Structure 1
Amino acid sequence: MIKYKISFFAFLIFALFSQNVVSQTDSNKLDAKGKKQGVWKGFYEESKRPRYEGTFEHGKEIGIFNFFDDTKAKSIIATREFNAKDNSAYTIFYDQNKNKVSEGKVVNKVFEGQWKYYHLASKNIMTTEHYSKGKLEGLRTVFYLSGKIAEEINYKNNSKNGFYKKYTENGIVLEESIFKNDQYSGLAIFRDSNGNMVSKGQFVNGKKAGIWHFFEKGKLVKEMNMSFPENATKSKL
């Protein structure tokens, strides 16, 4: 799912922001100051198939722009609805079967506010993220196809900072931990799929440190000083 999201997304963004290939037709007009005016159509350089179509008003995009894939089907793979008040564009990406891939606001060509990503070929949300000037900021939530929460993690300045929780589909918390600048930091608790604690301890700079407790079926069976794991194991059996 992650590879699908990255590869398909890279293609969509390339198509979305590459509006420089145009055809010399009656549609592509300029105003007296040499700025784009009226309906403009862009085309793929090699195939000459339509890439995008939208309207300009004295060089500024207005209304809805449609972006197409490079096939004879001319499938819409993205739309952008421009808002002159805040210089934003509400953007929706689609796959070639007309399913939404993601949607959210773009301001000055970077993500802003909440973005939603969808499960493959589904109307169900897979992930919600929040952006500030193109950087992740705030809560990121991942959902199972059923709609149940799978993961929650907080971001600050595009890095994991704050609590992290991972759940089974029936709501059991598998992991509770804390991140600082993309690294584990502080108390972490790990559980099995039945909700029994497996291990518990502290992280320092992304590494286990100090006394860690290990459990089997919820019963403490071992303590280990992870700062010196080679000679500090103490069995509780």
Structure 2
Amino acid sequence: MRIKESILNFILKKILNSNLTYTELLNYSKSNNKKEHKNIKKEINLFSENELYKNGSIYATGEMNLLEKNGEWKYYFKNGNIQKIIIHDKGKDFLKEEYYESGELFKKHFISDLKEKITETYYITGEIFSIRVLPEYFKTDTDNYFEYIFYINGNLKEKKRVIGNKLVGSYELYREDGILLKKTFYLKDGEIDGNETVFYENGNTYKTIDYLKNVKQGFEKTFFENGQLAEVSIFSKNELVHTLAKFNEKGEKIG
């Protein structure tokens, strides 16, 4: 929890320029919701309503404001377990929570009136799986977001920025024990640019590659697992131009 809160507070302050903290965001829960389940029967009792499956079990229950759903509504699977919680506000639907059919929390959505949205996804065993942060409010959460994905032990697995389903900016991939395995930078169109670094599982650098808009352009350096430089080559437009030098694990030049 401390790791998650520190990451979110950093994002809110440094990236989103918000004065809100993660704790303050817990007071807000809104998101778009798609209409579903046709042919649902309804039981109306003054200002409350129950929507039923054909078998008579409850599909949804909540309050009404005239003929509109109002406030928090709970929706259920046919087995009786809660499926989701939606906030209905003046004709708009905001998704607050989603659950696995077996009853465990699957997703939790947070949104402030500053339109900064956070979505948390959980493993079925309860551990945090991912934290997705939207710098602006979009109709879906697949357009523009920062995302942190975690192993079940709580350690960070991936750190990335996505725009239009493409990686943008810095991308990092970690091993389950926290060792950094890969670090890459992407342009807005999803092309690798600059230096890509790949690591051995002991943390030492395995290879560094220079890219220019997804094309190998410049140096490629390969290292032994002990950290010793193994080979230096020059590439142009993805083609090997020349191998400058080769070394053995002792650092002796062999080519």
TM-score interval for Structure 1 and Structure 2 normalised by the shorter chain: 0.7 to 0.9
Q: CA deviation at 1:21?
A: 2.5
Q: CA deviation at 1:60?
A: 3.0
- Give the Cα–Cα distance (whole angstroms) in 2 for the partners of residues 138 and 74 of structure 1: 34
- Give the Cα–Cα distance (whole angstroms) in 1 for the partners of residues 230 and 69 of structure 2: 65
The CA deviation string for residues 167-212 of structure 1, in whole angstroms up to 9 with x for no partner, is: 2233322111111233322211110110111111222333333221
Q: 1:16 to 1:157 in 2, by over 3 A?
A: closer
Q: 1:53 to 1:207 in 2, by over 3 A?
A: farther
Q: CA deviation at 1:166?
A: 1.4
For structure 2, list consecutive stretches of 5 or more residues without a partner in the other structure.
Answer: 1-32, 248-255
Q: Kindly report which structure 2 residues correspond to 1:8-87, keeping only aligned pairs within 5 A, or say none.
A: 17-23=35-41, 25=42, 27-28=43-44, 38-43=48-53, 49-70=57-78, 73-82=79-88, 87=92
Determine the structure 2 residue equivalent to 1:195: 203
TM-score (norm 1): 0.73
The CA deviation string for residues 143-173 of structure 1, in whole angstroms up to 9 with x for no partner, is: 1112111111123455422111112233322
Q: 1:112 to 1:98 in 2, by over 3 A?
A: farther
Q: 1:206 to 1:144 in 2, by over 3 A?
A: same
Structure 2 residue corresponding to 1:127, chosen from 115, 130, 155: 130
Percentage identity across aligned positions? 15
Please tell me whether the aligned partners of residues 63 and 71 of structure 2 are also in contact (alpha carbons under 8 angstroms): yes
- Give the Cα–Cα distance (whole angstroms) in 2 for the partners of residues 95 and 80 of structure 1: 15
Q: 1:88 to 1:106 in 2, by over 3 A?
A: farther
Deviates more, 1:127-136 or 1:50-59: 50-59
Would you say 1:168 and 2:175 are equivalent positions? Answer: yes
TM-score (norm 2): 0.68
The CA deviation string for residues 118-157 of structure 1, in whole angstroms up to 9 with x for no partner, is: 12x2221110002331244342101111211111112345
Determine the structure 2 residue equivalent to 1:115: 119
Determine the structure 2 residue equivalent to 1:207: 215
Q: Kindly report which structure 2 residues correspond to 1:170-185, keeping only aligned pairs within 5 A, or say none.
A: 170-180=177-187, 181-185=189-193
Q: More relative contact order in 1 or in 2 (CA 8 Å, sep 6+)? A: 2
**Count of aligned positions:** 206
Q: CA deviation at 1:83?
A: 5.0
- Give the Cα–Cα distance (whole angstroms) in 2 for the partners of residues 56 and 19 of structure 1: 19
Q: CA deviation at 1:231?
A: 5.1
